[in-house]
Chains A and B, each alone.
Chain A
């Protein structure tokens, strides 16, 4: 069973619907007790860095998520869920993220922000996550912050103003800055890969 962490923000239905379409059993997780029994955990996107952490603490989900990550169990962070895996974000400088990856998120510097639409994701390190996908594939993005420090854990990069991290991995912990649940057949394929091969 895949658990989707409900921290009171974001459109959780779309990710649930995508897993349901792929026939991968998934459910929303609202309490820490529900987490330990799961096989996989997803923190979906949308919301802000500070508010998401505050809400995870408020709902007492934070310690369970941290434990999950410490045990390196299968995890997927989407958009904001990916940003939370880093140490810091300009969006909430006083906060500290899960710190699985070194580095911090900063505001995108480009003519138009948010970065909204389909952009090319270039895979720089092959991984089962991208199984049967092209080495450069379009995915749908909506975000105003990203990690622009290029680091060893990066699996894929995207260009908007400058290069930023589009996918990242440490052991069984994955993060993607784009929205696979809104990226058509390529996005569904990636979710299926994560749910069955990662």
Chain B
């Protein structure tokens, strides 16, 4: 049976892991290579790195981080943050990433998803949807959650899949770093409407909430950041709990 994936997410700024609340107030949480190794040894199913620095220097450091990690860690690696072109994608894949996650550029230039899927295959294109509740629905935000694109997040996720995205990463901006639990309705809406795997992100604060993202939200994978970085939960603990609830886990 296909197992549910536990994916630690490392937001990297100029070579350091940072984490904020609702996409703001970033705090330093450690060295990315060290953290990645720790999570790998603890049984992480994949790893995600997002360059949140979005400067040229930060981007270069990110490449080095991916390069170093891919020499020691043999599980799927996803890299993202600030990807704008096919060249950006190629560069990250060559550095050692297996997948790339694209948010803003996909909305500003949807043909990028199409071209990238065509060039590199759908399996390595993750469409990252940063969604917040607006007027009873959800809208897709861009540029680190600062701008409302005006697109309905659910429809955009569906559109992204038809353009060639092989996976959808659903980030709830409202829940990011709050530990109040995932936006289950949002995750379920998207998971039921697309035929590719959905990764739930934003809001995990306890084990029960992670279980809910899978059982109620129907997520195929969960992305975790602050709660792991600050040692509030560990991967073995999460896996043990989910197994006890009957969730298929590696």
B74–A119 touching, CB < 8 Å? no
* Complex Cα–Cα for A113 and B195 (A): 7
Total B residues in contact with A, Cβ cutoff 8 Å = 29
One of A9-17, A87-95, A126-134 at the interface: A9-17
* Complex Cα–Cα for A59 and B161 (A): 33
B3–A119 touching, CB < 8 Å? yes
The smallest beta-carbon distance between A120 and chain B, in angstroms, is 6
B74–A188 touching, CB < 8 Å? yes
A117–B3 touching, CB < 8 Å? yes
A118–B2 touching, CB < 8 Å? yes
B3–A138 touching, CB < 8 Å? yes
In B67-87, which residues have CB < 8 Å from any A CB? 70-72, 74-76
Enumerate chain A residues within 8 angstroms of B197, measured Cβ to Cβ. 112, 116-117
- Bitwise, B92-131 to A at CB < 8 A (1) or not (0) is 0110101000000000000000000000011110000000
A182–B3 touching, CB < 8 Å? no
A13–B70 touching, CB < 8 Å? yes
B123–A115 touching, CB < 8 Å? no
Q: Is A142 in contact with chain B by the CB < 8 A criterion?
A: yes
Q: Is A25 in contact with chain B by the CB < 8 A criterion?
A: no
B96–A117 touching, CB < 8 Å? no
B121–A117 touching, CB < 8 Å? no
B98–A14 touching, CB < 8 Å? yes
The smallest beta-carbon distance between B156 and chain A, in angstroms, is 19
Enumerate chain B residues within 8 angstroms of A120, measured Cβ to Cβ. 1, 3
Q: Is B203 in contact with chain A by the CB < 8 A criterion?
A: no
* Complex Cα–Cα for A46 and B166 (A): 13
B76–A159 touching, CB < 8 Å? no
Q: Is B24 in contact with chain A by the CB < 8 A criterion?
A: no
A17–B96 touching, CB < 8 Å? yes
Q: Is A187 in contact with chain B by the CB < 8 A criterion?
A: yes
A119–B220 touching, CB < 8 Å? no
A159–B1 touching, CB < 8 Å? yes
Enumerate chain A residues within 8 angstroms of B96, measured Cβ to Cβ. 13-14, 17
- Bitwise, B164-176 to A at CB < 8 A (1) or not (0) is 0011000000000
Most chain A CB within a 10 A radius of its CB, from B96, B98, B166, B197: B98
- Bitwise, B188-219 to A at CB < 8 A (1) or not (0) is 00000001110000000000000000000000
Summarize B's interface: helix, strand, loop or mixed: loop
A187–B45 touching, CB < 8 Å? no
* Complex Cα–Cα for A20 and B4 (A): 30
The smallest beta-carbon distance between B125 and chain A, in angstroms, is 11
Enumerate chain B residues within 8 angstroms of A13, measured Cβ to Cβ. 70, 94, 96
- Bitwise, B149-172 to A at CB < 8 A (1) or not (0) is 000000000000000001100000
Enumerate chain A residues within 8 angstroms of B76, measured Cβ to Cβ. 140, 142, 182
Q: Is B222 in contact with chain A by the CB < 8 A criterion?
A: no
Enumerate chain A residues within 8 angstroms of B250, measured Cβ to Cβ. 118, 138
Enumerate chain B residues within 8 angstroms of A159, measured Cβ to Cβ. 1
Among residues of B, the one whose C-beta sits closest to the C-beta of A141 is B2
In A165-186, which residues have CB < 8 Å from any B CB? 181-185
Q: Is A63 in contact with chain B by the CB < 8 A criterion?
A: no
* Complex Cα–Cα for A20 and B74 (A): 12
11 further A-B pairs in the complex, CB-CB below 8 A; given A116-B167, A143-B123? A14-B74, A17-B96, A21-B74, A114-B123, A118-B3, A120-B1, A140-B75, A182-B76, A184-B75, A185-B74, A187-B74
Q: Is B241 in contact with chain A by the CB < 8 A criterion?
A: no
The smallest beta-carbon distance between A93 and chain B, in angstroms, is 20
* Complex Cα–Cα for A31 and B76 (A): 29
* Closest 8 pairs between A and B when the two form their complex, measured CB to CB: A138-B250, A118-B250, A142-B123, A118-B3, A119-B2, A182-B76, A117-B2, A116-B197
Enumerate chain B residues within 8 angstroms of A113, measured Cβ to Cβ. 195-196
The smallest beta-carbon distance between B238 and chain A, in angstroms, is 15
Q: Is B221 in contact with chain A by the CB < 8 A criterion?
A: yes
Enumerate chain A residues within 8 angstroms of B221, measured Cβ to Cβ. 117
- Bitwise, B39-67 to A at CB < 8 A (1) or not (0) is 01000010000000000000000000000
Among residues of B, the one whose C-beta sits closest to the C-beta of A79 is B123
Enumerate chain B residues within 8 angstroms of A17, measured Cβ to Cβ. 70-71, 74, 96
With A112-B197, A138-B250 in contact, is A118–B45 under 8 Å at CB? Answer: yes
